[in-house]
Amino acid sequence: MQRYLEKATSFFEIPIDFRSRLLIIAAAVLLVPTYVLPLWNMTLYSNQFPDGLSMDIYSYKLEGAKTPNRDDLKEINSLNHYIGMRPLLEDDFTEFKWIPFVIGGVMLLALRVVVFGKMSKLVDLFVLFSYFGAFSLWSFYHKLYLYGHELDPTAAVKVPPFTPPMFGHETMANFEVYSFPGAGSYFMAIVPLILLAGMWLSRKSWINAKRTTAA
């Protein structure tokens, strides 16, 4: 057990390979688009809306498709009020305040990894970022659950409580609803993979370190 712990500690002490550092810088750069690209999209199709009512969730705002003849977010809220669902209003979501802050923090941590060059920092970053990602996904699912379950009991149209789809397709009344990650989410998803690649590329340092400990 002791030997294993010593091995682990020495792993965390190894320097990060130069190529890994480049990858980590790339990961930080790849986080920039997540500010401006949609993270998630939900589109609702029906006979009356063959082109779909669409809304995008960004890191900092909630926006429905807007054409001169239709404001999709307003229309979705108008339709939802019949079943007693709370209107989707950007101001109700604190996520739009802390997500951009966290992404900035991650980018700073990435730079910290590159500067200090120690594997422990990289592992920290990987764990924190994965936690951030998992928490965001859970938070999103939780919001969907709340909005679909906390329906106004005096609503004109009574529907059993439901959870709008988070990933994939579902039929809700006369609507075909499609919910999928947006471009921004794909950039987010690559980052942990890049961080892992960064760890992998530094394995030479780990092999050298093991030899030194063994000796």
167 φ/ψ angles, rounded to the nearest 5 degrees = -140, 115
Q: Please identify, using beta-carbon distances, which residue of 10 and 80 lies nearer to other proteins.
A: 80
Is 47 a residue that touches other proteins (CB under 8 A)? Answer: no
How many residues contact other proteins, by CB under 8 A? 11
Residue 67 Cβ vs other proteins, minimum distance, rounded to whole Å: 9
Residue 85 Cβ vs other proteins, minimum distance, rounded to whole Å: 14
Listed in sequence order, the residues at least 6 apart from 185 whose beta carbon sits closer than 8 Å to its beta carbon are 34, 39, 40
Secondary structure string (H, E, C) spanning 164-194: CCCCEEEEECCEEEEEEECHHHHHHHHHHHH
Residue 179 Cβ vs other proteins, minimum distance, rounded to whole Å: 22
Secondary structure string (H, E, C) spanning 103-130: HHHHHHHHHHHHHHCEHHHHHHHHHHHH
x/- track of binding to other proteins for residues 72-101 (CB under 8 A): --xx--x--xx-------------------
On whether the CB atoms of residues 53 and 78 are closer than 8 A, the answer is no
x/- track of binding to other proteins for residues 134-163 (CB under 8 A): ----------------------xx------
Q: Give contact residues for other proteins (rule: CB under 8 A).
A: 68-71, 74-75, 78, 81-82, 156-157
